[in-house]
């Protein structure tokens, strides 16, 4: 047998379903989809923070805000990475293996960020109802009328949810605001409790005049709804990164085989 026949011929970079050029084009398509998913992630994070900005203030911990901010940062990083990846894939020359390694590292970082946001949202979803039950009434009774940001947040909540007090309208009987200078008109409940909000309507706390139900269940429902979306998007989109890591790893191996990027 001739010696030449025993030496394997070098596979062309343009041949085969796993050739370098094929992987480059697949990576380009992945980055385009990746960019769309990044925009979706960023949009969901902004929606979560902008839709209920006052209500986040009333939560006992920063878990909800942290999950949303991590998701926002991940979405922004996804968009930047995918744009750079698309431009790199469109280059005629082959990427250096060091560039592919850096790209893979960024994908893994984004994967961890989005996974963390999803897990954080899920964990907080489990403990939210207990936290609200323990914390919200204290916030209502101790901070309303004492701190402007909390006062505005509680007024907005009571008007939006048509509720009064944390668990029931009688919670206001134990409020610091009730006998404070901020309540010089001696309202029994804040005006925001009224079914029809007009000045000094809170002087009468009969259920025919105010919304007697507490706010805790409505707030729990709204935050839970947001957490489901944040968690699903965080975990769901993080799965997409796995395909990008696989593709970039294959490209890295091919580049090493062809001796490129050194």
- In whole angstroms, how far apart are CA 56 and each of 19, 63, 67? 50, 10, 12
- 224 versus 245: the higher-pLDDT residue is 224
pLDDT tens across 103-115, in order? 777 777 878 887 7
pLDDT at 12 (0 to 100): 46
Separation CA 35–CA 89 (nearest Å): 14
CB 167 within 8 A of CB 214: yes
Separation CA 41–CA 43 (nearest Å): 5
pLDDT at 190 (0 to 100): 93
pLDDT at 248 (0 to 100): 67
Nearest-5° angle of CA 58, CA 63, CA 68?
Answer: 100
Token pair recorded at residue 178: 């009730």
pLDDT above 90 coverage of the chain, percent: 8
Separation CA 64–CA 154 (nearest Å): 18
Separation CA 100–CA 73 (nearest Å): 22
Q: Residue 195: is its pLDDT beyond 70?
A: yes
Q: Specify the range with the lowest mean pLDDT, choosing from 15-19, 202-206, 210-214.
A: 15-19
CB 163 within 8 A of CB 211: yes
> Mean per-residue pLDDT for 195-207?
89
Nearest-5° angle of CA 75, CA 85, CA 112?
Answer: 40
Q: Residue 33: is its pLDDT beyond 60?
A: yes
Separation CA 147–CA 158 (nearest Å): 17
pLDDT tens across 110-147, in order? 788 877 777 777 777 777 777 777 788 888 888 998 88
Q: Residue 203: is its pLDDT beyond 70?
A: yes
Separation CA 259–CA 241 (nearest Å): 26
pLDDT tens across 218-236, in order? 888 888 887 788 778 777 7
Residue for token digits 């899920």?
122
């Amino acid at each position: 047998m001739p010696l030449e026949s025993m030496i394997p011929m070098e596979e062309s970079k343009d041949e085969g379903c796993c050739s370098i050029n094929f992987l480059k084009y697949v990576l380009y398509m992945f980055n385009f989809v990746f960019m769309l998913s990044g925009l979706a992630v960023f949009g969901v994070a902004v929606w979560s923070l902008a839709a209920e900005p006052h209500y986040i203030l009333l939560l006992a911990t920063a878990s909800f805000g942290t999950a949303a901010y991590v998701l926002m940062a991940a979405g922004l990083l996804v968009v930047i990475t995918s744009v750079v990846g698309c431009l790199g894939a469109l280059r005629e020359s082959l990427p250096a293996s060091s560039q592919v390694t850096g790209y893979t590292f960024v994908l893994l970082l984004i994967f961890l960020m989005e996974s963390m946001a999803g897990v954080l949202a899920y964990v907080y979803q489990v403990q939210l109802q207990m936290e609200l039950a323990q914390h919200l009434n204290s916030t209502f009774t101790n901070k309303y009328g004492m701190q402007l940001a909390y006062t505005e947040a509680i007024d907005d909540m009571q008007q939006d949810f048509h509720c009064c007090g944390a668990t029931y309208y009688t919670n206001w009987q134990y409020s610091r605001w009730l006998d404070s200078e901020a309540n010089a008109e001696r309202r029994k409940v804040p005006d925001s409790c009224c079914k029809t909000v007009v000045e000094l309507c809170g002087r009468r706390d009969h259920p025919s005049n105010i919304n007697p139900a507490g706010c805790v269940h409505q707030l729990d429902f709204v935050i839970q709804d947001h957490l489901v979306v944040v968690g699903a998007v965080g975990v769901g989109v993080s799965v997409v990164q796995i395909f990008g890591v696989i593709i970039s790893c294959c490209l890295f191996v091919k580049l090493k085989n062809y001796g490129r990027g050194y």
